[in-house]
Amino acid sequence: MKAEIITTGDEILLGQIVDTNSAWMAQALLSLQIQIAQITSISDREEHILEALSNATQRADLIICTGGLGPTKDDITKLTAAKFFQTSLVRNEGVLTHVRGIFEKFNRTMPDINLGQADVLSNGEVLFNDWGTAPGIWVAHEGKVYVFLPGVPFEMKNLMSHRVLPKLQEFNSQEKIAIRYILTVGIGESHLAEQIADIEDAFPPHIHLAYLPKIGLVRLRISASGSDMVQLEEELDHYAKLLINRVGDAVVAHDDISFEEAIVRSFVESKETLATAESCTGGNVAKQITEIAGASAMFQGGIVAYANQAKEHLLHVEHSVLAQYGAVSEETVIQMARGAQKQLGASYAIATSGIAGPGGGTEEKPVGTVWVAIAGKTEVKTKLFQFHQDRILNIERTTAQSLLMLWNLFQKEKGI
Amino acid sequence: MKAEIITTGDEILLGQIVDTNSAWMAQALLSLQIQIAQITSISDREEHILEALSNATQRADLIICTGGLGPTKDDITKLTAAKFFQTSLVRNEGVLTHVRGIFEKFNRTMPDINLGQADVLSNGEVLFNDWGTAPGIWVAHEGKVYVFLPGVPFEMKNLMSHRVLPKLQEFNSQEKIAIRYILTVGIGESHLAEQIADIEDAFPPHIHLAYLPKIGLVRLRISASGSDMVQLEEELDHYAKLLINRVGDAVVAHDDISFEEAIVRSFVESKETLATAESCTGGNVAKQITEIAGASAMFQGGIVAYANQAKEHLLHVEHSVLAQYGAVSEETVIQMARGAQKQLGASYAIATSGIAGPGGGTEEKPVGTVWVAIAGKTEVKTKLFQFHQDRILNIERTTAQSLLMLWNLFQKEKGI
């Protein structure tokens, strides 16, 4: 079964929001062996929606369309879908009662504008929305399935999980796809490709290798498609093993987890703990770690020491060090890392200090100058980076590099 | 001028990465009055790329295609584009020297696999890539412009900023678009729509109002299209003023800034300062604030107090309070907020404590239970939230709600 996602709404085309829904839906559908053939983002204008629905019908068996189900005048998906199916909208009393109930719960009267949210396609089945006012709609039409969902991520996710996926499980895909991931660290994409070229060259045509590089990391994805899932899994096991043996120590994880999750898991297993002392990353390192479920078993806490006062008072960086070398210096990050380690009682600590920009640069220390220190059990590693002008990128790169440095020191000190 | 973005790569269709490039490109193109007609994400297979290029040619004047320019076997965009244009690839010596140079800089030999990165379309112009190994390519073909760029965000952004946008400025779009934003807080989308219905109804057909809701916020976007930019701007000024007057105090900002940026600006103007004490949000509140350029003028710092030890030691939460009421309690968040305010010397402080999940819930305090406290100049406001099961969503919702509470207390105490 092939699926296509259509997202409607000018806000994506104008770059006002990043489309995070599609990636989530793709992962959810993949769990049912349903592959996405295309993701299309279009404006919320009638002719675009009609064209996209019509094109998707040519390519896919399942068309999921998000957005444009709200109560306001720019929400035209249902009306347009009615035109597409040459059908009409009918008011659903169950939905109306539900929408009224939501407003009553907050002691508010339902505005008349919300009446339209209870109108659904007469050829469709209501996907009841317990998480908001806009119902989803499921339409089976000429051998294809069309699903209309609200674009609000929270509502879309709940409707997918509780309404759409259970219905989709009834469909049994003929084309199966099996996937393995190998997360590697510290080898560039090209060198990794050279290192494993002969293994890749020997892949049969139904097995495909992809390189997904990020800062300092390359994730390998091996996918196999065919009809016999057991055979596909066995083939993937075989090829994954060949790759893992070849790449050796650079393999961080054998499954589809993030680098942060690999760090959290390894620290928990080794009973090590982590603390952070962040200046230029402003809490982003702590945030990346604490997003991982189970982080509380290894993350003690962190200090976002933005002002110098915080560096002195909470991290016990010496006043004289700040005065002599400045906040962005090797001497300061070392004391920050040691301070976090001690104040938070952790075996490892990450410290970052730099000039994220756009302001604050000097000739000697231009925007993008960043010091990172990792305090471990036996030593403190430091590194100076010279990044570029973009504040957000500087924060992201510093975060990624500091996690790489942490991993390397953790590996080096393993067993100590 | 209408543009279309095509992103290639199975990683987007498999939900492995979120496509952040497209939003960035859309914003960049909008600055040149170029509107995106469609964003299409496809696999890196030849037939899909050919079909997408061909369809985009029907809809748009400018087609930007990202991804698939790397050195590995899954990178087939250039070969496929050569087929599409019925042309060939030629090796570019300038690019080859550059790619070799990058490897030499790191004292490595260039793998042979990278030779292909110096191959460019013979009907195209090289967009020299100073930020990586894959060059961009600009092709003018039968009245349309095609741009091929690497998918790595950092390289794509630099190539767009330094190579593509300057060339695009030569094109002068006939269809102009003017845009205004109004950021409102604390009114639901439906009620806001009712409140301004008569103003919206009186909009002429070339002026369009969109509602962009987020947790607790609604951003209004008024866009006008036509040929006379001066007239469009005047019309928008007129309608924006009507809306702003009607919505009154709920208007947070008149321009296209995030809520976080509005907070940072207002705090800097009022000479107020902020500190954070985060448990369940794990640094995310501090991260959201410190991503804003200029945050250092108002953000003193934060403490990510994950372990109870950190709450006691760094925030001076009383041991007896933690023992009696638990970490997730009104009593504890109040002491966390006051502690952060005092320890970091700030006029305002945000404190969060909750059970983000998936583990850690109890019958009395299930996953999703969150306390937030805001310490201000005269009082501490607290609020209990009952969110759901999703860890990331719980972190995001707590962050958003804590910033809303901060804004409300800040507004209330203004002038004190």
pLDDT digits (tens, 9 = 90+) for A146-166: 999 999 888 999 999 999 998
**Cβ B282–A304 below 8 Å, yes or no?**
no
Asked whether residue B30 carries a pLDDT value surpassing 90, the answer given is: no
Please say whether the beta carbons of B371 and B384 come within 8 A: yes
Nearest CB to A300 within list B36, B310, B395:
B310
What is the helix (H) or strand (E) element at residue A48, kind and residue range?
helix A46-59
**Cβ B314–A212 below 8 Å, yes or no?**
no
Asked whether residue B365 carries a pLDDT value surpassing 90, the answer given is: yes
**Cβ A221–B344 below 8 Å, yes or no?**
no
**Cβ B221–A10 below 8 Å, yes or no?**
yes
Structure tokens of B371?
């306390």
**Cβ B111–A304 below 8 Å, yes or no?**
no
How far is residue A280's CA from residue A384's CA, in Å, rounded to a whole number? Answer: 13
- B280 to chain A: nearest residue by CA? A290
Q: Assign 3-state DSSP to chain B and report helix, strand, coil percentages, each to 5.
A: 45, 25, 30
The gap from C-alpha B261 to its chain's centroid, in whole angstroms, comes to: 13
Matching residue, tokens 């983000």 = B356
Model pLDDT, residue A33 = 80
How far is residue B151's CA from residue B149's CA, in Å, rounded to a whole number? Answer: 6
**Cβ A208–B74 below 8 Å, yes or no?**
yes
Backbone angles phi, psi at B19, to 5 degrees: -80, 95
**Cβ A71–B193 below 8 Å, yes or no?**
yes
Nearest CB to B293 within list A26, A71, A391:
A391
Mean pLDDT to the nearest integer, B32-54: 93
**Tens digits of residue pLDDT in A45-57:** 999 999 999 999 9
B 8-47: CB under 8 A from A: 9-20, 22-28, 30, 35-44
Model pLDDT, residue A275 = 98
Q: Which is more confident, A107 or B263? A: B263
Residues of B in contact with A13 (CB under 8 A): 26, 35-39
How far is residue A99's CA from residue A129's CA, in Å, rounded to a whole number? Answer: 9
Mean pLDDT to the nearest integer, A158-184: 86
Nearest CB to A301 within list B300, B303, B393:
B303
Residues 6+ apart with CB under 8 A from B254: B180, B181, B182, B183, B240, B244
Q: SS3 string of B51-75?
A: HHHHHHHHHCCEEEEECCCCCCCCC
Q: Picking from B104-108, B113-117, B141-145, B306-310, which range would have the lowest pLDDT averaged per residue?
A: B104-108
Residues of B in contact with A28 (CB under 8 A): 15
Q: Compute the half-sphere exposure of residue B376: CA atoms within 13 Å on the CB side of its CA.
A: 20
Asked if B301 has any chain A CB less than 8 Å from its own CB, the reply is: yes
**Tens digits of residue pLDDT in B166-185:** 899 876 567 788 889 999 99
**Cβ A18–B20 below 8 Å, yes or no?**
yes
Sign of the four-CA dihedral A226, A227, A233, A239: negative
Instruction: Please tell me whether residue B1 adopts helix, strand or coil conformation.
Output: coil
Q: Assign 3-state DSSP to chain A and report helix, strand, coil percentages, each to 5.
A: 45, 25, 30
Nearest to B40 by CA among A324, A103, A39: A39
Give me the percent of chain B exceeding a pLDDT of 70.
99
Residues of B in contact with A219 (CB under 8 A): 16
A94 to each of A100, A113, A117, A273, A317, how far by Cα in Å?
A: 10, 17, 11, 52, 63
Asked whether residue B7 carries a pLDDT value surpassing 80, the answer given is: yes
Model pLDDT, residue A172 = 58
What is the helix (H) or strand (E) element at residue A141, kind and residue range?
strand A136-141
Instruction: Please tell me whether residue A205 adopts helix, strand or coil conformation.
Output: coil
Q: Which residues pair with B374 in a beta bridge?
A: B350, B381
How far is residue B135's CA from residue A103's CA, in Å, rounded to a whole number? Answer: 55
Model pLDDT, residue B74 = 82
CB-based burial of residue B408 (10 Å sphere; 0-12 exposed, 13-18 middle, 19+ buried)? middle
Q: Which of B306, B308, B313, B355 to mutate to probe the A interface, most A CBs <10 Å? A: B306
A273/chain B closest Cα distance in angstroms: 11
Model pLDDT, residue B5 = 97
Please say whether the beta carbons of B146 and B139 come within 8 A: yes
Model pLDDT, residue B171 = 65
Supply the mean pLDDT for chain B. Answer: 93
Burial B313-348 (b: 16+ CB within 10 A, else e): bbbebeeebbeeebbbbbbbbbbbbbbbbebbebbb
Residue type, B276: T
Nearest to A1 by CA among A227, A119, A172, A138: A172
How far is residue B234's CA from residue B243's CA, in Å, rounded to a whole number? Answer: 15
Model pLDDT, residue B172 = 58
Q: Which is more confident, A33 or B301? A: B301
First to last CA, chain A: 52
Q: Picking from A59-63, A386-390, B276-280, which range would have the lowest pLDDT averaged per residue?
A: A386-390
How far is residue B287's CA from residue A279's CA, in Å, rounded to a whole number? Answer: 11
Matching residue, tokens 């050796």 = A248
**Tens digits of residue pLDDT in A269-321:** 999 999 999 999 999 999 999 999 999 999 999 999 999 999 999 999 999 99
- Residue A346 pLDDT class (50, 70, 90 cuts): very high
Supply the mean pLDDT for chain A. Answer: 93
Asked whether residue B149 carries a pLDDT value surpassing 90, the answer given is: yes
Nearest CB to A286 within list B13, B304, B309:
B304
How far is residue B253's CA from residue A406's CA, in Å, rounded to a whole number? Answer: 41
How far is residue B403's CA from residue A185's CA, in Å, rounded to a whole number? Answer: 37
Helices (H) and strands (E) in chain A, counts: 16, 17
The neighbour count for residue B242, using CB atoms within 10 Å, is 15
A275/chain B closest Cα distance in angstroms: 9
Backbone angles phi, psi at B243, to 5 degrees: -65, -45
Mean pLDDT to the nearest integer, B294-312: 95
A 206-245: CB under 8 A from B: 208-213, 219, 221, 223
**Tens digits of residue pLDDT in A18-30:** 899 999 999 899 8
What is the helix (H) or strand (E) element at residue A393, kind and residue range?
helix A391-412
Q: Hey, what domains does chain B have and what are their CATH numbers? A: 2-168 (3.40.980.10), 176-253 (3.30.70.2860), 259-413 (3.90.950.20)
**Cβ B13–A19 below 8 Å, yes or no?**
no
Asked if B258 has any chain A CB less than 8 Å from its own CB, the reply is: no
Model pLDDT, residue A169 = 81
Model pLDDT, residue B80 = 96
Asked whether residue B156 carries a pLDDT value surpassing 80, the answer given is: yes
B 310-349: CB under 8 A from A: 310, 313-314, 343-345
Report ipTM for this prediction. 0.81
